[in-house]
Structure 1
Amino acid sequence: MNLSSTLLARIANTSLVLQIFIGIVAGILLAVIAPDWAMNIAFLGSLFVGALKAIAPILVFLLVAASIANQKKNTQTNLRPIIVLYLVGTLCAALAAVSVSFLFPSTLILQTGDQTMTPPQGIGEVLHTLLFKMVDNPVNALSSGNYIGILVWALGLGLTLKHASDATKKVFWDMSHGVSVMVRFVIHLAPIGVFGLVAVSIAETGFAVMHSYVHLLMVLLGTMLFMALVVNPLLVFIKIRRNPYPLVLTCLRESGVTAFFTRSSAANIPVNMALCERMKLHEDTYSVSIPLGATINMGGAAITITVLTLAAVNTLGYSVDMPTALLLSLVASVSACGASGVAGGSLLLIPLACSLFGIGNDVAMQVVAVGMIIGVLQDSTETALNSSTDVVFTAAACLAEERKQGQ
């Protein structure tokens, strides 16, 4: 008894990544050894998905509203090129994800039930649906998981609260923080939920489900590597007009490696600040741009949202035309900026992108759960890309400014 208690205590004290990995392995073993038992624990996965489904709409609403309401006016004019790089980089990441998803389409094994959803017939219907979802009753949007409506009302409330008193803004900020803590609690239940999801998936479909996970993971990681080693260097070269790879590789080594293991852009801010100091960048610039980048520079999150959404679309057999794909890229880019400060935040914004295609919340949350399963590598790589790019773009803008002054 003492031995088992000690073992469980050691597992509980390990990192969440290792716990999820243990849950995956345990689920596979249970499905192989005792498939009947595996079917009986299906409720664990359902409870986990249900908890995500319940908290995600509130999180998105409060996080976006509080972030906009508490946004300070930008008084540093030299931050403008860095912000432009952040936004352009995030949009490029979403576009790259769309391109790779078309080249290497992914599918998932989802329980779609008897849903009667019909795919949108081109960009016109998508925009028509989008407009009506934007003006949905805010209470109904929260209760039904209409993320488009949630986002619009959160933006509106955030903009109006910018003129409110500091005390009111702080209340919303504290509420946002409180919900984020609740989300972190739900995320820490991921090992149990993943255990149930993997066990029942393999018991029902065999190891075909693992093949789809591996393919999806390869698409995600390949796109992120493409961004880190091709697109980002190209953007830096346009800015500094010289070989970008010494800067890019230094940032990947000094910032990306630590971010990979901490899996938190916020936790990696001190590492990035110290790196900027060693690179002798302007302190007034990087002291603002690095924390800001941890909020809005979310290329990895845009890739995750786009690839998983298109995987759900492919699974349901929907066809996507190019204008709709471009709209998805834009939505994924904007959504990614709301993923900051929350573990697995990019996954919780997938339903927002899925709603463009009429995909219901039940199916979308299953996609989120799949993201949790592959998150052992996906989330670590996503954080490494996001955090290292903060320094890359800050340094590129500073070097470009120095080049201008030297001319």
Structure 2
Amino acid sequence: MRRTFPFLISLIKQGSLVKQILAGLVLGIALAFIYPEGAKLCGILGSFFVSALKAVAPVLVFVLVAASIANQEGHTGGGIKSILFLYMVGTLLAALVAVVASFVFPTSIALANIQDGVTAPGGIGEVLRNLLFNIVDNPVKAIANANYIGILAWAISLGFALRYSSDQTKSIVSDLCFSVEYVVRVVIRLAPIGVFGLVAEVVATTGLEGMLSYVRLLCVLLGSMAVIALIVNPLLVFLCTKENPYPLVWACLRESGVTAFFTRSSAANIPVNMNLCRKLGLDENLYSLSIPIGATINMGGAAVTITVLTLAAAHTLGIQVDVFTALLLSVVASVCACGASGVPGGSLLLIPLACGLFGIDQNVAMQVVAVGFVIGVLQDSAETALNSSTDVVFTAAASKYIERKKTKE
């Protein structure tokens, strides 16, 4: 017994994290079917893991971005611009794919008088107003409330200010960054246990019965996301690297997408993506900026959700959607997606904004939001997996694009 415990600790620390996560997934599903009540109790393990990720992520983003800018030598500007361009193009293409899928497979949804306490933005003006005030939020409050817009604003400002500090000060900032990263690595090693608890609780609590009436809607949503992940993203990577994109795409889906699927939070998955970028050998000055920014604005999955549910509502109400309006919806969905919070269900609250394009009543729009929450077990999980894994895909693609340009020069 004395030898067994150190052996298990060593196995957890040194074993393959992906294999351990898959083992946790299988064991969680098995426990849910064998002993549902016990599986529900194990949900505390999943909640603990997600809480740990959410606790460390704001501090990690603040310290990492500030340290990266403070110690930057000025050679990543082109890389960041390339990544931001990919983020914008990827999100817009995701919305366009969702429009095509909705036209090819028109879907109706059951809209009932669902009452809930969800408060959605009243218009684009309110979204922009919230964005502005989030930027100037108190830094302590921003970190405490995981306001990543405010965290990024303060980290970038502090980073640029620290570029003019002494080398000793920069060294202290770097040491602080390494210390936070060590804590993050410890948290990430808890992923198999966390996934086990999350899967066990979800399967034992919901099963699949509650989603049978929304199978067609889920198929359109998940099918669109699959097209983005397996066709559109690889195409963009190929255009950047001129190499086979699938090894990179599969690696990101396997190591980032699987974890994000169960945490259902792009923000909570930031430490996982940082660790994956490190394993891929990417430039830390680049990914320490692109990953936190991606968790905030790279929301292809959210664009798909907003577009599909909005067009489903229009189809249900018998509203004819022309090509021009559909294209406008793609742009609006892309903008709304960038404003979606990095928490579970964040994209659903922006559906009423898109519904406003078709004059759909806000009460009806909120019923669509409620439908989104009903199918959220799969929809939000798949959306987050796509969003988060794409952050690493585009960061790696931009890195290889820069290397290819340097080689030609």
Which ranges in structure 1 are unaligned for 5 or more consecutive residues?
1-6, 19-70, 114-142, 179-190, 200-208
Determine the C-alpha separation between the residues in 1 that align with 2:294 and 2:275. Answer: 15
CA RMSD in angstroms comes to 3.3
Q: 1:277 to 1:174 in 2, by over 3 A?
A: closer
Q: For residue 151 of structure 1, what is the aligned residue in structure 2? A: 127
How far did 1:359 drift?
1.1
Query: What SS class does the counterpart of residue 268 from structure 2 fall into?
Result: coil
Cα deviation, residue 13, structure 1: 6.1
Residue 151 of structure 1: how far off its partner (Å): 2.4
Give, in whole Å, the separation in 2 of the partners of 1:315 and 1:227: 25
Native 8 Å contact 1:239 1:397 kept in 2: yes
| 1:344 correspondence with 2:345 | yes
SS in 2 for 1:349: helix
- CA deviation map 1:283-339 (0-9, x unaligned): 100111111111111000100000000000111110111111111111111111111
Say whether 1:277 aligns with 2:278: yes
CA distance in structure 2 between the aligned counterparts of 1:112 and 1:317, rounded to whole angstroms: 18
Task: Read off the aligned partner of 2:245 and give its amino acid letter.
Answer: P
The 1-side partners of 2:228 and 2:42 are apart by 34
Q: Does 1:14 align with 2:15?
A: no
- CA change 1:15–1:296 in 2 (3 A) is farther
Matches within 5 A, 1:303-342: 303-342=304-343
Distance 1:370 1:354 in 2: 14
Q: CA deviation at 1:145?
A: 5.8
1:278 Cα deviation after fit:
1.2
Give, as a single letter, the amino acid of the residue that structure 1 aligns with 2:376: G
* CA–CA distance in structure 2, aligned partners of residues 154 and 338 of structure 1: 9
1:354-388, CA deviations, whole angstroms, 9 ceiling, x for partnerless residues?
Answer: 11111122111111111111111111111111111
SS in 1 for 2:110: coil
Question: For 2:221, what is the secondary structure of its paired residue?
Answer: helix
- After superposition, residues 6-405 of structure 1 pair within 5 angstroms as 11=40, 14=43, 76-77=76-77, 78-111=79-112, 146-154=122-130, 157-158=132-133, 169-170=138-139, 173=142, 210-211=212-213, 213-405=214-406
Report the CA distance shift for 1:169/1:225 in structure 2 as closer, same or farther (over 3 A).
same
Q: Shift of residue 250 of structure 1?
A: 1.3
Gapped runs of 5+ residues in structure 2? 1-35, 48-64, 148-201
Q: Is the 8 A contact 1:145 1:361 kept in 2?
A: no
- Whole-Å Cα distance in 1 between the matches of residues 221 and 45 of structure 2? 20
Identity of matched residues, %? 59
In the superposition, the TM-score normalised over structure 1's length comes to 0.64
Quote how far apart the aligned CAs of 1:240 are.
Answer: 0.6
The alignment covers a number of residue pairs equal to 289
For 2:124 and 2:265, locate their aligned partners in 1 and report how far apart those are by CA, in whole Å. Answer: 26
One-letter amino acid of the structure 1 residue matched with residue 43 of structure 2 = T
Which amino acid is 2:301 matched to?
G
Secondary structure of 1:266's match? coil
Bigger shift: residues 8-17 or 395-404: 8-17
Q: Take 2:123 and 2:385, find their aligned partners in 1: how far apart are those partners?
A: 27
CA shift, 1:396, in A, is 0.3
TM-score where L is the length of structure 2: 0.63
